[in-house]
Amino acid sequence: MSAVGWRGSSVAVVSAAMLAVTAGLGLARFGYALLIPDMRTALGVGYAEMGALASANFVGYVAAALVGGMLGTRFGVRRVLFAGLVIVTAATAGTGLATSIPVAAAYQVFAGIGGAVCAVSGIGLAASYVEPRWRGLATGVATGGNGLGLGLSGLVLPAVLATGPDGWRWGWALLGSLCALCGAYVAFVVRQEARSQHGGVASGGQRHRVFGSPLVWWLCAVYLLWGLGYQIFGTFFASLAIADGGWDQWTAGRLWALTGFASIGSCPLWGLVSDRLGRPPVLALLLTVQGVA
């Protein structure tokens, strides 16, 4: 299959999409969980303030996710994706410079904006470069970037945190640097405007059908409830493990890494299953499994 705007095979494009998700979600968003205990102590705040900081990221994410697809259609996926990577890299590294919660929250709003743009554009890019019958697999591989970010943060952040009281600041700097590396790979692969043989530019009528579809809003409600369940757990995972479970940073980090690396393979697996069995039954099964777990 040939397409304009990328180097190598479709594998290269899907891998670039995966690293975009790694930067936007796996590193910038979920690396935060391991930094909370030390960051909270250094800034002299409680869990409520740290939760508000996570909420700032969510606000930016939701705002950008609502318009991310339209921005890609209007300005081009490549431009929008690159902008998201620049924003998420700068905001993630900048959070480590914050001296107060309001300043950190401002950075996190932009991290959420950049993260949403990376996720929406990256996953959309992966889906557009394969035939429809393989879209579940392609988007599964791209979504696996989230797990890659979790795994990397779980392995490297405990060592950085062990360097001293300012370890959390260096942790944010490291996450920002890893985001920059992901962005460099994406820039190398997606060097021209991304255009696919399997997708097109949405017209105004098509957009109206999307926003007027009850199914879309039902899926939004499902995504909201799912997010409430796993985002709260993900945000305070390390804090609860350390404070209530008596674990050290290294043990919490290893379990965090295990969770992330396990999802790298499961995402494309379930995507492939959905290509064969259909999206609705597989989505229902996955939500049930995750709820039980």
Residue 132 is predicted with a pLDDT of: 82
Count of CB atoms situated within 10 Å of the CB of 246: 8
CA atoms of 263 and 152, how far apart (whole Å) = 13
The answer on pLDDT for 230 being more than 80 is no
2 located within any domain: no
* pLDDT tens-digit readout, 133-183: 888 999 999 999 999 999 999 999 999 999 999 999 999 999 999 999 999
The total domain count for the chain is: 1
Q: Is 78 helix (H, G, I), strand (E, B) or coil?
A: helix
The answer on pLDDT for 197 being more than 60 is no
| 17 — pLDDT class (breaks 50, 70, 90) | very high
Average pLDDT on 237-254 reads 77
66 located within any domain: yes
Q: Of 198, 292, 267, 219, which is closest to residue 4 (Cα–Cα)?
A: 198
218 located within any domain: yes
1 located within any domain: no
| 1 — pLDDT class (breaks 50, 70, 90) | very low
Please tell me the least confidently modeled range out of 51-65, 106-120, 142-156, 204-218: 204-218
Strand-pair partners of 195: 4
Q: Kindly report the backbone phi and psi dihedral angles of residue 284, in degrees, each rounded to the nearest multiple of 5, phi listed first.
A: -60, -40
Distances (CA, A) of 102 to 48, 72, 108, 211, 265: 13, 30, 10, 34, 38
4 located within any domain: no
The distance between the two most distant Cα atoms of the chain, rounded to a whole number of Å, is 56
Strand-pair partners of 4: 195
18 located within any domain: yes
Q: What is the CATH number of the domain that holds 105?
A: 1.20.1250.20
Q: Is 201 helix (H, G, I), strand (E, B) or coil?
A: coil
DSSP state, 202? P
| 9 — pLDDT class (breaks 50, 70, 90) | low
CA atoms of 193 and 139, how far apart (whole Å) = 20
| 210 — pLDDT class (breaks 50, 70, 90) | low
Please tell me the least confidently modeled range out of 8-22, 148-162, 222-236, 243-257: 222-236
Q: Of 145, 138, 142, which is closest to residue 261 (Cα–Cα)?
A: 145
CA atoms of 114 and 61, how far apart (whole Å) = 8
Q: Of 209, 203, 199, 212, which is closest to residue 123 (Cα–Cα)?
A: 199
Residue 233 one-letter amino acid:
F
38 located within any domain: yes
3 located within any domain: no
Domain that holds residue 221: 10-292
The pTM (predicted TM-score) of the whole model is 0.85
* pLDDT tens-digit readout, 101-125: 999 999 999 999 999 999 998 988 8
Distances (CA, A) of 91 to 24, 88, 166, 235: 11, 5, 18, 18
